[in-house]
Amino acid sequence: MEITINKIESHEVDGDASDITSTFDVVENGRFFRITCRSNRYGRNLGLEGKEGLLYVNRDNNLVHWQVVALGGGCGLLIDDDPVEGLSPWALRGVIFAEQNKEAREITITTGQSENCTNQPLLLINGRAQDPSQYLDVFGDATS
């Protein structure tokens, strides 16, 4: 596994400093994804640039899913929910970390051997090795 995350841009939505949209280029095992992260006073959501819907990690199967919800006939909801081929939960964790950590411009996550724990993926932030267990709020149990 090798994931590289680069922050491309960040801007205010409609001039509101509390509503920020950031864009990230994510390359995971040779596959390219452009992910947007919108943060505002109500929370944070991730999506694929140019597409409606949200990205999330399905806890039942540990896969990244893309979900679109729309109003259907008779006041019902139409829900499309599909796994995203080639995008792992680690990639979404890295994007969230990059958004929270304003100093992180490039993040690399790889299955190298970290110095402190051989079961953990290697985390590089701006080219410097870091221990994922120091960031449990985002990376959680680094072995999953």
Residue 123 lies in a domain: yes
Please list the alpha-helical segments (H only) found in 14-139. Answer: 89-100, 136-139
Question: Would 49 be classed as within a structural domain?
Answer: yes
Residue 28 lies in a domain: yes
Would you say residue 94 lies in a domain? yes
Tell me the backbone φ, ψ of residue 74, rounded to 5 degrees: 65, 30
User: What are the phi and psi torsion angles at 132 (to 5°)?
Assistant: -55, -25
- pTM score > 0.75 for this model? yes
Contact between residue 131 and residue 121 where contact means Cβ atoms under 8 Å apart = no
Domain that holds residue 116: 2-57+85-139
Structure tokens at 20: 């920020």
What's the pLDDT tens digit per position in 115-135?
555 556 777 888 888 776 666
**Mean per-residue pLDDT for 51-74?**
92
Of 17, 39, 28, 106, the closest CA to residue 64 belongs to: 28
Tell the residue number behind the tokens 């796994």, with chain if given.
Answer: 83
Query: Does any domain span residue 74?
Result: no
Whether 67 is covered by a domain: the verdict is no
Q: Does residue 39 lie in a domain region? A: yes
Please give the tally of structural domains in the chain. Answer: 1
Q: pLDDT band at 139, cuts 50/70/90?
A: low
Residue 72 within a domain: no
